[in-house]
Structure 1
Amino acid sequence: MSKLPEDKPVLVTCGLPYANGKAHIGHLRTYIPADIYVRSLKKRGKEVTFICGSDTHGTPVVVNAEELKMTPKELVGIYHKHFYEIFRSVGVTFDAFGTTDDPENHNRTLDIVNRLIDKGYVYPKVIEIAYCPACDRFLPDRYVAGVCPHCGQNARGDECDQGCGKHLEPGELKDPACTICRGPAQYKEQEHFFFKLSGFKDFLLEHLEHLEGTSNARNYALGWVKQELTDWCITRTLEWGVKFPGHDDLVVYVWVDAPIGYIAFTEQWAKANNESWEKFWKGDCPIVHFIGGDIIYHHCIFWPAMLKGADYSQPWAVVSSGMVKIEDKKFSKSRGYVVWVQEDYLDHGFHADLLRYYLISYTSHTKEVNFSWKVFQERINTELVAVLGNFLYRSLLFDFKNFGEIPAGKISPEVMEKIKSIIDEVTVAMEEFEFKKAIDTAMSLASFGNSYFQSNEPWKLIKENREACAEVLANCMQIAKALILLFEPTLPEKMEVAWKQIGMNSDVHTAGYEEALVPVNAGTTLSNPSILFDKIEDAKIEEMTAISNERIRKAFAKEAGISEEEPAVVPLKDQITYEDFSKVDIRVGKILTAEKIKKSKKLLKLMVDVGEPKPRQIVAGLADYYQPEELVGKVVNVLVNLQPAKLCGVESQGMLLAADAGERVSLLTPDKEMKPGSIVR
C-alpha cells in the first residue's frame, strides 16, 4: 500500500446522499469514518479539502416527489437542508456541500459529456425501453420492476436489488411492470445514447491494479472488469435532471452527473477560497472517495472510465464500507429495521460522539456493522465510560482536589515512548484505512493510563511523598493530553471539553499529534472536571428497544396487509384439493455443505443428501438468516420435484421449506431423528 504524498494537498469526498428521504444510521457508516479520516490527516499536518453534496436527480427523487404531490426541486430543498443539518449535528463538517442541481454541476456535466461525444466515446442507439400503456409514459429505472435476467430474482429497473446486485441496463428486465399503476409494461423502441465502456477494459485493469483504498472495492471491481464489459446507456426519459446535449426529451443518467458533483463541489470550494479545483481534477493531487459497498461498481468502473475519456484525473483511492444491520437483521426501511438519526437517536438525548465511536470501533471498515441498542450500551459503558472516561476523570479530579493545577514533575521516558509508539501505530492504521485498529490502539493508551494511575497509588503518595505524587499526576496529565488529541477525530465535541479541562487554551481541532509529545505546562490552573461520558442505563435501552420492536411490528402488519386493529396473521391462500397436494414430493434431507455465492448477498449454495445416490445442489435465500457453518448437519424438509432453476448462474435442484415471519425465517425440521430420503406426507 502506498502512502499519501507528503507534499500534496488531499481531496476527500463522500458518496452523495439522495435528497429524497431522512438520514438513518446506514448513511453514517460512510460519512463518520470519512470525517474521522479527514480530522486525523489534519492532525498530521496534511492540507485536506472535504466535500460532499446532495444527489438530486434520478427516478427516486421524481417518484417520491410525485407521491408527495410536490416538484422535485421542492423535495430536494427539504432534504438537502435536512442532510446538511444532520451532518453538522453529528460532527461531520464539509468544506463544501452542494447539490447536483447547482449550476456548477450542470455546466461541468455538459462539459464532460460533450468531451466524450467529441472524442467518439458516446454514440446513439435505438433500444427497447419499458413503456406503460396505462400511464402513457416510458419507464426509466425505478419506474419499472420485473425479474432479473441474470439470477431470476425480483429486481428494479436499474439494479437487481433483491438478488445478485448487478447493474441493469434499460430493457434488460424480464416481465416488466409499472411501479406507479402496477400494470404490465411493454417494450417500445426509443433512441438513447451509450458510453463505450467496453473500450476501457485495459485501462481499468491497470487503474484498479494501482488503486489504493480498501481491497473489497478493488477486488469487486476487478472481478467485473475481467468479465465482458458492456457499453453503458447514459440517458433517461425524464424531465428532471441535466439535459442531454441537443435532446430536450432526454436527461443524463443520474450515475453520470452525480459523481461529477465531486468536481462541481470542488469548484464551489475553490471559488469561495480563492483556490484551484484543477490541482485535483486536472493535476496530480490525490483524491480519496469514501463510499458504501453498494456503489463500488459505479465508482471503480463507470467513474474512472468517464474521467479517463474526458481527460480528467483519476481517484487515488476508493474506501468502501461494509453495510449496516439493525439488531442483527438486514437493514430494511420497509420492514422496520432502521434507526433514524434524528428521531431515534439525537431526539432521545444520545450524544453524537457516542455513535461516532460505535460505528468506527465495532468492526473493520469493510465488514458489516450491527447496530444493536444492547451492544451499543455495552460498548459505551465498558469502553468510553469505564476506560477512557474513567482515566480522564479520576486523574483530573484527583489533581484538582490536591493541587488545583498541573503539578511540576519530570515526564517519564517510558510514558513519552508509549505515547509516541501509540501515535505511530494510529497513523499507520489510518493510512491503511483500518479505523477500528486505530481506535483500539488509542484506547490501549487509556488502559495504560489507568494501570499507571492504579499502580502508582497517588492516594497513598499524597500522604507520604507529595513531590512523588506530583510527578505521577504530571505524567497522568501528559497521557491525558495525548489521549485527547488521539480521540479528537472520533469524539470531537467531548475532546474539546476535555482539552479545556486540562487547562489548554488552544483549539484542540487544529492541534496536531506532535503536540502530544510537548510536555504539559506545570502550573496550569485546573477547574473542577465534569464527567465526560455518562453510563447508559438499562431503562433507556429498554425504551429504545420497545420503540424499535413496535416499528418492526407495524411494518410487518403493513407488509401483510393487516390493519392496526387486527392481529398480525398473514391471510390464507386459496384452498387446494388433495390431488393438488399429492403432486408435491417432500423428502427429509441432511445439509452436507453450505457456502456463499459470490455474486449474491442473499443466496447460499447447499449440497443436501435426500436419500439419492448423489447429494442435490440447492440454492436457498438464507444468507440474511443463517451463517453457512450453522446449516451444515441440519436435517430439513426439501421439495424435491420442483423444476430446476438457475439463480445467479448456479443451478438449484429443489427447495428447502421454512417458516417466514417477516422479520425472521426458520427452517422446518423433523422433531424426531429421520433418515435422509424419508417421505413427508
Structure 2
Amino acid sequence: MADANAVPFGTFYVKFMQYLITSALPYINGIKHLGNLVGSMLPADVYSRFLRQEGESVLFICATDEHGTPAELAALEAGLDVTTYCQKQHERQAEIYRGFGLSFDYFGRTSSPDHHELTQHFYQRLDENGFMEEREIRQVYSHEDNRFLPDRYIVGTCPYCGYDRARGDQCENCTSVLDPTDLIEPRSAVSGSTNLEVRTTKHLFLKLTTLSDEVRSWVDNQQEWTTLTRSIALKWLNEGLQDRCITRDLSWGVPVPRPGFEGKVFYVWFDAPIGYISATKGWANQQAEADNWKSWWYDSQDIRHVQFMAKDNLPFHTIMWPAMILGTREPWTMADDIKGFNWLTYYGGKFSTSSKRGIFSDQALEIVPADYWRYALIAMSPESADSAFTWELFQIKINKDLADNLGNFVNRILKFANSRFKGVIPEGGTPGEAEQRLQESCESLITKLSNCLQNLEFRKAAETLCALWTVGNQYIDERAPWALFKQNKEEAALVIRTSINLIRLYAIASNPFIPFTAEKIFDALQLSETERTQRLTQAVDFNALVAGRSFAVPPPLFRKLEDTEIEELRQQFGGE
C-alpha cells in the first residue's frame, strides 16, 4: 500500500522532500558565453521552475567564484583593486542572469566572510582527521612576471592528448588532471615567457589517496548518474587518485590558518564548492532564522540535492568535493544526482573571448529577448555529446518552433476570437471526437514532458514541448474555425473555447522554459495567480476557462529572424 504522504513518481512513490539545486559557480573573470549558460545555470533554472510549479519546496543556489590569479590579473588590467573589480563583476553577472530570467533564490559570492569562515572550518576538520599533509614542493616561478605561477597560469602541450593549450592543473580537452611539470614546452599564460624556474616552496596536500576507497564506495552507490558523469568519475578513480595540493602562493583568496603559511591562500578549487554552502548561509541571513541554512546542508532530512555543471567540472564534483565532505566526518549534504553536460561549441570550435569568436551572454540579450535564447539553447542541450551552436539552427528554432508553432497559434486564435466573439470566450457546441483526440494527445505529451524534466532530459523535454504546440496547430487545421463560423457558429465557438484553453495549457507547460512569454500569455488570458501556478501534471483541462471570461490580444509573441540578419550575425561573431 502506498504511503499516504507520498506522491507518484513514474512507477514508484517518493515522499515529499525539499530540493536543493546548485549550479556550477561562474568564475568572476569576464562575461560567460552561451556554453556556460546551457551547461549549468539555464537547465538548473528550468528544473527549479518546473519543481516550484509542481508545488515542491525548492532552494536554487549559485554564486560567483571569485578567488585565484585570474581575478588578480583581470583587476590589474582593469586598473582596479581586486576587491572593487570582483564587486563590479559580480553585479554585472547578476544583472545578466536576471535578464535571462534565472530564478536563483540567492546569488552569492565566495569572497564573503561566511565563505572564508566555512572554508577554514573544512580545512581544520580535515586537518584534525589526518587528511592534510604539509610538504615541500617544487613550483614554477616566472622571472618575467616576478611571481610564482599557479598551475592554471602555466600552459603547454598535454602529454596525454597533445592539446597545445592545456593548463597546468587540467587539460580541458581530455579532462586529465595535470601538474605543471607534466606539460610539454610550458610557458607563462600571463606573459608568454618560457623563462621559468622551478623553486622549492611549502604547501598543504589533501590526502586523496587515503580517502580513495571511501570516495569509490560513494560513487558506486550513485545509481542515478548519467553515463557522462559516471565515466569521468570512474576514469579518475581507475587511474588512481593522487594527493592534491590545496594551497597557493597568492594574496587574493581564503587565508590558510596555519603557522608558517602566512601569505598563502587555499587553492580556488578547494574553496569553490564550499560556496554552495556559504551562499545558502547568505540566503538564510536574509530570512527570519539565520540558522536555517543547516536544514539544507548539515544533518539535513529529506533533502534531494541536484547539481548542474559542464563536464570539465565533473572530476572536482564527483571526486574532490565528496572527498572533502567525507573527510570532515561531519553530516554534510552530498549530491543525489550530478547532471553533467558536454560542451556547446560554436560551429564545432571553441568560444573565444580574445578572438571574438562566438556569442556571449551580455551580447545575446542585445540581439533578441531572453526567451529566444532559453528555448533554443535548451533545444540544443549538449547532453549525450557535444553539440554545435550555429546561427542557422538558431533561426530554425526561433522561426519554426517559437514564431510559427507557438506564436502564430496564439495570435491566430485570440485575434479571431476577439473579432468574432467580442473579446470573450464563447459558449456553445459539444466536444466531439476531435476534442477527445486532442485531450488524449495533450495528456500523453504532458506526461512525457513531466517525465523528461523529472529525469533531467532537457533536450527531449524541449522536443516534447514543441510537439505539444504542434498538436494545437493540427487541431485547428482540422477543425478550421474560420470556415466553421460561417456554417455553424456554435461549433466554431467550441473550437475557439477549446483552443483558448489550449493556449492556457501552453503557457503552463512553457513556463519553465520561456517564462517571460508565459507571463505575457497569462496576462492576455487574465489569469489569477492561482491559475498561473497550476501544476503541469494537472494542467490538461479544456473547461478551465469557461465561457464569458474576457481576454486580450497580446502583440506578436515572437519575431522571425531574416536570412540577411543571420548572415550579419554570423559574420559579426566569427562563425565559419
TM-score (norm 1): 0.76
**CA contact under 8 A between 2:438 and 2:471: conserved in structure 1?**
no
Residue equivalent to 1:671: none
Cα distance between partner residues in 2 of 1:106 and 1:316: 26
Query: Residues 107 and 366 from structure 1, CA distance in 2 versus in 1: closer, same or farther, beyond 3 angstroms?
Result: farther
2:263 is paired with a residue whose SS is: strand
Partner of 1:423: 446
Aligned pairs for 1:434-453 (under 5 A) are 434-453=457-476
Q: Which amino acid aligns with 2:374?
A: R
Q: For 1:540-568, what per-residue CA distance to the aligned partner results, in whole angstroms no more than 9, with x for missing partners?
A: 2232123124xx7xxxxxxxxxxxxxxxx
Residues 129 and 450 (structure 1 numbering): CA distance in 2 closer, same or farther, change over 3 Å? same
- Confirm or deny that 1:334 pairs with 2:354: yes
Tell me, in whole angstroms, the C-alpha distance in 1 between the residues paired with 2:470 and 2:497: 17
Higher relative contact order (CA 8 A, sep 6+): 2
Match of 2:502 in 1: 479
1:341-360 to structure 2, matched below 5 A, reads 341-343=361-363, 345-348=364-367, 350-360=368-378
Post-superposition offset of 1:377: 1.2
**Cα separation, partners in 2 of 1:229 and 1:476, compared to 1, 3 Å:** same
Determine which of 542, 553, 570 is the counterpart of 1:528: 553
Query: Partner amino acid for 1:22?
Result: I
Aligned residue for 1:248, secondary structure, equals: coil
Cross-structure match for 2:344: 324
Query: Aligned pair 1:489/2:489, yes or no?
Result: no
**Gap regions ≥5 residues in structure 1:** 553-662, 664-681
Deviations 1:10-51 (A, max 9, x none): 111111111111232122112111111111111211111111
- Give the drift of 1:209: 2.8
Q: State the TM-score, normalizing by the size of structure 2.
A: 0.90
Q: Structure 1's 151 and 528: CA in aligned 2 closer, same or farther, altered over 3 A?
A: closer
Q: CA deviation at 1:530?
A: 2.3
CA distance in 1, matches of 2:470, 2:257: 61
- What is aligned with 1:22? 31
Matching residue within 278, 303, 307 for 2:294? 278
Q: Whole-Å Cα distance in 2 between the matches of residues 153 and 428 of structure 1?
A: 39
CA contact (8 A) 2:247 2:264 kept: yes
2:243 to 231, 256, 260: 231
Residues of 1 paired with 2:186 and 2:467: CA distance? 56
Do structure 1's residue 253 and structure 2's residue 263 form an aligned pair?
A: no
Using a 3 Å threshold, how does the CA distance of structure 1 residues 274 and 516 change in structure 2: closer, same or farther?
A: farther
Q: 1:167 to 1:144 in 2, by over 3 A?
A: same
| One of 129, 135, 158 as aligned partner of 1:125 | 135
Pair 1:152–1:48, CA change in 2 (3 A): same
Structure with greater helix share of residues = 2
- After superposing the two structures, state which structure 1 stretch, 438-447 or 66-75, moved more: 66-75
Shift of 1:402: 1.3
Q: Distance in 1 between matches of 2:65 and 2:98?
A: 18
Residue deviations 1:199-237 (CA, integer Å, cap 9, x gap): 222222232233334321122111221221111111111
Shift of the alpha carbon at 1:362?
A: 2.2
CA shift at 1:176, angstroms? 4.1
Aligned length: 548
Match of 1:511 in 2: 534
Deviation at 1:243, TM superposition (A): 0.6
> C-alpha offsets along residues 86-135 of structure 1, whole Å, 9 cap, x if unaligned?
00001112111111000110011011111100111111111111122454
> What secondary structure is seen at the aligned counterpart in 1 of 2:262?
strand
Distance 1:173 1:288, change over 3 A: same
State whether structure 2 residue 379 is matched by structure 1 residue 370. Answer: no
Measure, in 2, the Cα distance between the counterparts of 1:380 and 1:176.
45
Q: Tell me by how many angstroms 1:174 deviates.
A: 5.1
Call closer, same or farther: CA 1:366–1:100 in 2, change over 3 Å.
farther
Equivalent residues in 2 for 1:618-629, closer than 5 Å: none
Please give the alpha-carbon distance, in whole angstroms, between the structure 2 residues aligned to 1:321 and 1:109. 27
Higher mean displacement: 1-10 or 23-32: 1-10
Larger Cα-atom Rg: 1
**Other-structure match for 1:75:** 85
Q: For residues 371 and 147 of structure 1, do their structure 2 counterparts lie closer, same or farther at Cα, with a shift above 3 Å needed?
A: closer
Q: Report if the CA contact (8 A) 1:63-1:143 is conserved.
A: no
Of the structure 1 ranges 70-79 and 226-235, higher mean CA displacement relative to structure 2 is found in 70-79
Q: Is the CA contact (8 Å cut-off) linking 1:492 and 1:509 kept in structure 2? A: no
Q: 1:403-444: per-residue Cα shift (whole Å, max 9, x none)? A: 121123556444333332222111111111111211211221
Change (3 A) 1:254 1:323: same
- Cα root mean square deviation, aligned: 2.2
After superposition, the C-alpha distances for 1:349-396 in whole angstroms (9 at most, x for unaligned) are x11100101101125534323222222112211111111112211121
Unaligned runs of 5+ in 2: 1-8
Is this contact kept in 2: 1:326–1:370, CA < 8 A?
yes
The Cα offsets for residues 490-544 of structure 1, whole Å up to 9 and x where unpaired, read as 1100111111222323267633222443622221112234211111122322321
Contact 1:23 1:86 in 2 (8 A): no
**Aligned residues of 1:373 and 1:545 also touching (Cα < 8 A):** yes
Q: Does 1:222 align with 2:234?
A: yes
